[in-house]
Amino acid sequence: MSADKLPSIPLARQAIDAHMLSVAYNGLDIRTGETHSYFPFCAFITQGLTREIVRGVLRDLTDSGLCEYRAGLFRNDGEVGGAGYGITQRGAKRYFELAGEEAPEGVGKWWSQLHEVAA
C-alpha cells in the first residue's frame, strides 16, 4: 500500500479507539449505566492490533477516563478471573460519537419518563 493511501494517524487512532470502546461497551448495562463486565487483553486483540498496541491504547483510554481497569475479577462460575477493562459513561458517550450513532437512552430513563407523563 502506498503512503498516499494510508489513513492519517488521527483517523487510524479513531478507528482503534472505536474498536476498543465497542468491545468494552458490551459490558455496560444500559438500564443502569453501570459496567458489569470487564474484558481481558485477548478480547481486544485483532489481527492488526497486537497485545502491545492494545495495552498502550487501553492505558491511554483509562488515563483519559474512557475505560477503567479492575483487578481481582471473578468469572460467572465464581472462579477468579484475573483483571480486565470496562467502559465508563464518558467512554460510552465517546463510542457513540465515533460510531456516528445516537446513544440508547436505556430502560431506566424511559421508565422514569413514562411515569412523569402518567403523573
Residues 20-76: tens digit of each pLDDT: 999 999 888 877 778 888 999 899 999 989 999 999 999 999 999 999 999 988 877
* Alpha-carbon span 43 to 64, nearest angstrom: 20
Q: What is the pLDDT of residue 15?
A: 92
3-class state of residue 52 by DSSP? helix
Question: Is 78 contained in some domain?
Answer: yes
* Alpha-carbon span 20 to 23, nearest angstrom: 5
Question: Is 74 contained in some domain?
Answer: yes
Q: What is the CATH number of the domain that holds 52?
A: 1.10.10.10
Residue in the structure block whose three cell numbers are 500500500: 1
State the residue range of the domain holding 61.
8-118
* Alpha-carbon span 91 to 78, nearest angstrom: 28
Residue 111 above 60 pLDDT?
Answer: no
Specify the amino acid at residue 115.
H
Averaged over 97-117, what is the pLDDT? 64
Question: Is 105 contained in some domain?
Answer: yes
On average, the pLDDT of the chain sits at 83
Question: Is 3 contained in some domain?
Answer: no
Please report the beta strands in the chain, taking only residues with DSSP state E, as ranges in sequence order. 28-29, 34-35, 67-74, 80-87
Question: Is 47 contained in some domain?
Answer: yes
Overall number of domains in the chain: 1
Of 18, 25, 7, the C-alpha closest to 46 is 18
Residue 87 above 90 pLDDT?
Answer: yes
Q: What is the pLDDT of residue 68?
A: 95
Question: Is 2 contained in some domain?
Answer: no
Q: What is the pLDDT of residue 95?
A: 92
Of 76, 62, 58, 67, the C-alpha closest to 26 is 67
Question: Is 34 contained in some domain?
Answer: yes
Residue 107 above 50 pLDDT?
Answer: no
Question: Is 98 contained in some domain?
Answer: yes
